[in-house]
Structures are given as structure tokens and as C-alpha cells.
Structure 1
Amino acid sequence: MSNAPTSEVLLRQIERLGGHVLLAGLPADDLLGELPQAQGWSWHAGEQRLLEARFPGRCHFGVTPPPGPFEAAVLFLPKSRELTDYLLAALASQVPHGHLYLVGEKRAGVERAAKQLGTLAKAAKLDSARHCQLWHASIGEAPPAPDLHALAQRYSLPLADGELQVLTLPGVFSHGRLDRGSALLLEHLDGLPTGHVLDFGCGAGVLGATLKRRYPQSRLTLLDVDAFAIESSRLTLAANGLEGDVIAGDGIDAAPTELAAIVSNPPFHQGVHTSYEATERLLREAAKHLRPSGELRLVANSFLRYPPLIEEHLGACRSLAEADGFRIYSARRA
């Protein structure tokens, strides 16, 4: 497997990384094989699965770093500026009198993120290649580990059955606000089959929590690829006194079977790139996870040609509503 450009730039400075190093947000490539004493930290379930298969026990999954201390830590730049702040602070707390590196693509904003690194210690650019940059800062006395839950943003949704409290963590889709697609779907949750219901791509758990209040006798599972979304959903459920199984997984393959319904505002972003692969796989595979007469109900941008894919793999597709550039689709398994 070839290395990502960010890994290649990092390996140009391999002499700096020979000790106990923590690689945060690393790509699922050969990097851990090149750095035998390094340990990974991932919050993406798909990349974690690939890394665990190739380098068993060497990559930690979750919203907090594995126990340190480390001689050095490397942050592979994430998309969210707020998440970058948290991750840099968390890594700095793990490298007392050590080194903190930042690597990322120029178009992803690595120069902007270098200024965030500079708030912790003096930052200097070490290398620039493959449209990427590598920055470095020396950490003195390690700052205390940041309190992730204290960074959660809370907002209230006025629903027919009372206000719903929503908590979102840095880096989670639509952080601190309700997106337009979910708002439209929330208005069209009537008439779902009862039983085991899945919120696919759950984000902060808005849809899942609403479903559990609307259908209290149904079992609820919430699924997302991102550990920060998983933690946000747990916080949202707890804030409303609701119960549900919250699981991390890379797409619909990780979902339970014999579901009464799958409800989703499916994701279509991966890093700085746009990808519809997870949603298209959901549409192709939903029937395998639904019981007979089980329903898939989702919101999507109106311009996306999803109905033919839904009808090919699941059944007749109905459009329930359209507004603000979004459309609600529904289909039942035969």
C-alpha cells in the first residue's frame, strides 16, 4: 500500500520520529510499519478497522488519546478548526518536554492550523512537499488535558412533545446548530414501522433521540463512523433521559439486521473531499438489514439521483416532501 502524501512528507523527517511517538488522525497506510515504536490514535472507524487488521493493537480508537507520556506527537490535520484546537491541546498534554508536529495539505488549511499550534508554543515550518506542510513546536511543561465535554455546545429544539436538548462536540456535523436537511426530516417522521430502528450517520443524535421519544417502545440503535459523533449522541441521549445503543462502524455493514426502519440524513463528506460512497452503499445494502416491510427513510439534496438506486435495490421510492433544496425519500422492503 502506498503512503498518503502527508505520511510521505512526515517520513522525510523520519530521524525525528524514532522514539515513542503518537500519530493522531493517521491515514490507513504503511506509516506504522515505517515507525515500529509509534502508536496510532484514530477517531474514524473505517480507518481504525484497516489499521487494526494490519497493525494489531497499535492504534487506539476514541475521543481521547491513549495514556502517555510520549516523546513526540503528530497531528494529521482534520477538517474542523474547533476539533484541531482540542486535538492539539490533548496532544500537548501527552508530550511534556517533547515535540508536537502538525502535518496537512495546504488546501486543507495547514497554514491556518499552524497559527493554532503557535498558541501552544513557538511553531516553525520544517518541510513543504507534495502540496503538504509539516510544522513543529517544542512543548515545555505540558498543559492539563482539555475537558472535551466542557467544549460541547448545547441547543434546544422545540418539538411537539417538548424541547429536545442536543449536545454537539467539536468536529461533529452541524456543530451547535440544526442543519436544514435534518430539520426537514424531523417534520416527516410519522408512520414509521415500530420495532428496531436505526439512525444511520447519527451525528449528534438529533434524529435518534427524536425517534426514541416518538416511538418509545421501539429499540433504538445509532451508528456513525466518527468517535466524536458517537460521544455526542451519547451526550444527547443522556441529556434527554433516553436510551439507545450507540455504535461506531464504517457504513451500513456495521448495522444490525431485522430492522423495522432505517432513518438517515446520510453523510457525504470525508475530510476536504466530497464522497457519496457511504450513502450509495446504504441504498444498495439497506434491504439486507431491514425486515420484510421495513422502511428506509432519508433526506438528501434534491439534485442527487437516488430514486433509481433505491428502486433497483429496495423497492418503490416515494418522495414525501421537498424544501430548501432537500427531498425526503421513503421505500419499503418487499
Structure 2
Amino acid sequence: MDPRSEVLLRQAELFQGPLLIAGLAPDDLLGQLPNAAGWTWHAGDQALLDSRFAGRSHYGTEVPEVAFEAAVVFMPKSRELAHYLLNALASRLAGRELYLVGEKRGGIEGGAKILKAFGAPRKLDSARHCQLWQVTVENPPVAPVLEDLAERFELPLADGPLQVVSLPGVFSHGRLDRGTALLLQHLDDLPSGQVLDFGCGAGVLGAIVKRRYPDSQLTLLDVDAFAVASSRLTLAANDLQADVISGDGIDHAPLELDVILSNPPFHTGVHTDYRASETLMEKSGKHLRKGGEMRLVANTFLRYKPLIEAALGNCSVLVEDAGFRIYQAHRG
């Protein structure tokens, strides 16, 4: 069981009434707290939770429409996302209890400072390298409007500026990361047809590809509901259309692709997790049509070339710069 869940269960007597748990781990916590409901924005976690606790976990970017008398937030990696979650829940909990649990290395003490806006927070427990904080919401905020919290910025490009809309919690929130910036410089001569932007984030890569290759049929895929929402906003801001879908990994992507593009993720919260990226490479041949191309960018310390060669039989490095490599491979 996740150590944060273990800390909550040490205080289980506090959580016997109607409870909403935001950002929960896909473990047995809902099984131990029968009156609790979950709220997650991770498609893989939602699938696991729904398979075990059907109807009790809800996926999306907005507070789910369920009854709750108290709420717990699992501290996210992003402080901006923590602000949104805590304010969204505190707005529903006037005079009632809001809890925050998280790992010490995950910024729980900084997150606990956010609670001061609502009342007088206190630390209830410290164990398993985690802390549990509580506040009675004496000063409920106005419910935040998620789109109002978006970071909007413009990318100057040769074919005109691109408007980017990034929501709290999305990778490289409010800025263009160096890996994607490098890949954007090497998008020439892509095959036409079905294109996948895997791990689309705020939709920068997909939007640029759709603008440069308007006849392509573009799919953007991400595991995170905030990324999916961001990509849709970015496409709309540039009058572009594409399919944006949520799913945990390449298994949720279309088949018979002509191109897979990616700056693949390798973090889940504060933890390193290579599974999504490695599965992308291992299964790329299943999703690419014959002659189809995979082109991705990754940190130079990640040993992806052997994985790509094992899957597709070939892999070349298009460029190496500033700690990143762009890999290119084709399905024979």
C-alpha cells in the first residue's frame, strides 16, 4: 500500500463519513474506507480503481459531483496544481475539514502552507516519511475556474506564432521544455497520414505538426486529464482540429499509424517511472504501419536506442544537443 494511504489509515477514525480523496493511489484505500470516493486525473489509476471499486472513483479536472463532508488531497508534484485542488475543495467545505497528505520529499510542508488561507492548519501525523495535515475551513475561497488559471504564452515560429495554453500540473507548465524545443527544430520530411503525439502535454508538438502538415490525421494522447484539457485548449486557440484522447500508454493509441512523435515521460509524481516510455518503444511496431516512422526526443542518459532497435530493427540519432538526443526509426 502507498505510504500516504498508510498514514491516512493510522487516523482512520477521522474518515468514516462521506469523504472525497483527491489524487489517491490505486491501492486498497477505498476498500478500507467504505464511505470514501476517489477523484483522479491519471487515466491508468482510474482504470485500476474502477476495476476494483466500480463507480467510486471519478476521472477528470473538476471536483466530481458526489456528496462529501470532508476531503483529502494527496499532495501533487506541482504546487500550482496543489493550489487549484485545495481551493476547489475548500470552496465546498465551509466549516468542515480539509486534509493534505504527502511525502516529505514531495513538498508536503510547502503544501501545508497553502492551508493557512483557509484557517489554522495543524499536523496530525508524521510517519512513513509522510505527513498528514488538517484544517477546518473557516475562510472558504471562491471556487476557482480552471481555465482562468491557465498559463498562456506564445511561441514565435517561422510560419507564425503559436498560442499555447497550459493548465496547472501539466508537464513544463507555462514554458517550452528544452527537449520539445529541440524536436520542434527537426520535424522535416514527416510521412503524411495518421500521426500520434504520445504524451502530448499542453499540445505544443501536436499543434505545430497539424499546422505544418494539415492533411495529416492527428491524435494526441496523454495519461493526465489536465494535459488532455490543455491540448484541447491549445488546439482551439490556434483554430486547429485533432483527436485528443486520454489513456495510460500506447495500448490506447490507434493502429496503422504513419508517425509516432514523442517527448516521452519518465516521471510519475516525484518518482521516476520508465514504464510508459519503454512500453511505447517495445510496442511501437504494433502501432506503426509498414514504413511508418517513430521520432522522439529523450535525455542522453536514457538508454532508449537498444529498446528501439529491439522493437523496430533500426535506430539512428538525428541530432544530439544540450543533453538531449532525437531518435529516428522506421518499421520495416
TM interval, shorter chain, is: over 0.9
2:132 maps to a residue whose letter is L
Q: Which shifted more, 17-26 or 114-123? A: 114-123
Q: Which shifted more, 87-96 or 25-34? A: 87-96
TM-score by length of 2: 0.98
User: Does the 8 Å CA contact 1:68/1:95 hold for their aligned counterparts?
Assistant: no
Q: Quote the RMSD (CA, aligned, Å).
A: 1.0
Measured in 2, the distance between the counterparts of 1:156 and 1:240 equals 11
> For residue 253 of structure 2, what is the aligned residue in structure 1?
255
**CA positional deviation for 1:207:** 0.3
Measured in 2, the distance between the counterparts of 1:8 and 1:301 equals 34
**CA positional deviation for 1:97:** 2.2
User: Does the 8 Å CA contact 2:119/2:139 hold for their aligned counterparts?
Assistant: no
> For residue 221 of structure 1, what is the aligned residue in structure 2?
219
Show structure 1 runs of 4+ deviating over 6 A: none
After superposition, give the CA deviation of every residue in 1:154-191 in whole Å (9 maximum; x if it has no partner): 11111121110001011111111111100110011111
User: Does the 8 Å CA contact 2:151/2:166 hold for their aligned counterparts?
Assistant: yes
**CA positional deviation for 1:281:** 0.8
**CA positional deviation for 1:142:** 3.6
After superposition, give the CA deviation of every residue in 1:119-144 in whole Å (9 maximum; x if it has no partner): 22210011111111110001136432
After superposition, give the CA deviation of every residue in 1:72-128 in whole Å (9 maximum; x if it has no partner): 000001001111011100111222321100001111111111111122221001111
Mapping of residues 195-214 of structure 1, within 5 Å: 195-214=193-212
**Structure 1 residue ranges without an equivalent (≥5):** none
Mapping of residues 165-180 of structure 1, within 5 Å: 165-180=163-178
SS of residue matched to 2:295: strand
**CA positional deviation for 1:320:** 1.0
Mapping of residues 100-249 of structure 1, within 5 Å: 100-140=98-138, 142-249=140-247
SS of residue matched to 1:86: helix
Among 20, 23, 28, the alignment partner of 1:25 is 23
Measured in 1, the distance between the counterparts of 2:119 and 2:244 equals 37
Identity within the alignment, %: 65
TM-score by length of 1: 0.97
SS of residue matched to 1:266: coil
Measured in 2, the distance between the counterparts of 1:56 and 1:164 equals 41
> For residue 268 of structure 2, what is the aligned residue in structure 1?
270
After superposition, give the CA deviation of every residue in 1:290-332 in whole Å (9 maximum; x if it has no partner): 1111110000112222111111111311111111111111111
Measured in 2, the distance between the counterparts of 1:95 and 1:116 equals 15
After superposition, give the CA deviation of every residue in 1:14-52 in whole Å (9 maximum; x if it has no partner): 111111100000000001011111110001111111001
Measured in 2, the distance between the counterparts of 1:181 and 1:319 equals 14
**CA positional deviation for 1:272:** 0.9
**Count of paired positions:** 332
Measured in 2, the distance between the counterparts of 1:49 and 1:266 equals 21
SS of residue matched to 1:242: coil
> For residue 323 of structure 1, what is the aligned residue in structure 2?
321
Among 37, 57, 60, the alignment partner of 2:58 is 60
Measured in 1, the distance between the counterparts of 2:109 and 2:253 equals 39
**Structure 2 residue ranges without an equivalent (≥5):** none
